[in-house]
Amino acid sequence: MLFDQFDPAGYLEGLAAERCTVALTVPTQLVMLLESSAWGTPVPSLRYFISGGAPCPVSVMDRVRQAGFAMTEGFGLTECGPNCFVMPIGESTRRAGRVGWPVPFLEMRLADPQGGDVDPGEAGELLLRGPQLFSGYLDDPVGTAESLDAEGYFRTGDLARRDADGAYAICGRRKEMFISGGENVYPGEVESALIAHPSVADVAVVGVPDARWGEVGRAFIVPRRGATIEPDELLRWARASLAAYKVPRLVSVIDMLPTLGSGKVDRATLAALANVANVANVANVANGLIVPSASASASVSVSVSVSASANVSRDDAPS
């Protein structure tokens, strides 16, 4: 069942009316469902949700499971089909953050920036090769050639880790990673920590320039209904589970995250918001008075922007 646009109430009503058994979403849509007053609409036919498009925070998956649904993550791409991994439902609960093992006949590598293999547990770019792979981009031989390495592996642009038993976890897009004080920071990891806070409904983190550290994180936070976000308290809370260099130095509280037509977070718009020099202009951008990106399909209608800079040592939190 396909929808012209995503509306939580209409989505749940459609699932019930068509007696759907599996629902496919992206993480932002799951958050919208969980925060909607329509959440709890009976959908007796529905057995489980599959989330894709971006790493899904464990706390979001747990909230779905608490409502009585099974939950797992998938990973696929246009160039190689809708799902590249197999993850049994029961195993998904035990292996938080994993998308599973490669489907048959699909070869995978994780490569460092020089093209060498990375060790288990280390992040590397996910490379794919197999009969499922596309034959090329239409009328774009240059783009096709650039997307493949010398051995015919497709460069996905996604970063992943592999456990010793071969199970994979997706870290996020390579271009989303930023470097703070020489350390790699993966926004998905930071977002998973922040969204576990009881007052946070949704979050996105982007890297912004910093004179001292090169780049630091700025977190855009959507509070849960009726909740109030105190940036300093949130950052203190985050330090309990994140290394100091991963903790955002700035927090903006907004009503909703801008999204693309696919439902994914529009990080280009957030990056433009993050690079606005002062709080007043951030609010103006969020309210549509300044347009930072023509790519956004949903604007942030109201914003309360709060900056919180934490003067922390880079080793005052666990690594």
Q: Where are the domains of the chain?
A: 8-73, 101-175, 177-304
Which residues have CB under 8 Å from 59's CB, separation 6+? 192, 195, 196
> Looking at residue 317, what is its pLDDT?
35
The residues, any chain, with a CB within 8 Å of residue 75's CB and separated by 6 or more, are 52, 83, 84, 85, 99, 158, 168, 170
Q: Above 50 in pLDDT, residue 102?
A: yes
- Band (58; pLDDT cuts 50, 70, 90): confident
What is the rounded average pLDDT of the residues 57-69?
92
- The model's confidence at residue 278, banded by pLDDT at 50, 70 and 90, is very low
User: What token pair was written down for 112?
Assistant: 């460092």
The pLDDT value recorded for residue 303 is 39
pLDDT at 273 over 80: yes
- Indicate the pLDDT class of residue 248, thresholds 50, 70 and 90: very high
Residue 299 scores a pLDDT above 60: no
Query: pLDDT at position 57, please?
Result: 87
CB under 8 Å to 69, separation ≥6 — which residues? 46, 47, 48, 49
Q: How far apart are CA 90 and CA 107, in angstroms?
A: 25
* Residue of 158, 177, 173, 163 lying closest to 245 (CA atoms): 177
Rounded alpha-carbon distances, angstroms, from residue 174 to 51, 195, 218, 268: 20, 21, 18, 14
Q: Assess if CATH 2.30.38.10 describes domain 101-175.
A: yes
177-304 CATH choice from 3.30.70.20, 3.30.300.30, 1.10.1040.10, 3.40.50.720: 3.30.300.30
pLDDT one-digit tens code per residue, 150-179: 999 999 999 999 999 999 999 888 888 999
Where is 286: in which H helix or E strand? helix 279-286
Q: What percent of the chain has pLDDT over 70?
A: 86
Q: Do domains 8-73 and 177-304 have the same CATH topology?
A: no
186-234: per-residue pLDDT in tens?
998 899 899 999 999 999 999 988 888 899 999 999 999 889 999 999 9
pLDDT at 276: 67
Class of domain 8-73: alpha beta
Exposed / middle / buried, residue 97 (Cβ in 10 Å: 0-12, 13-18, 19+): buried
Q: Which residue has the tokens 């309360």?
A: 304
Spatial separation of the C-alpha atoms in residues 12 and 282, rounded to whole Å: 34
Please list, residue by residue across 41-57, b when 16 or more beta carbons sit within 10 angstroms of its beta carbon and e when fewer do: eebeebeebbbbbbbbb
Whether 263 and 6 have beta carbons less than 8 Å apart is answered as: yes
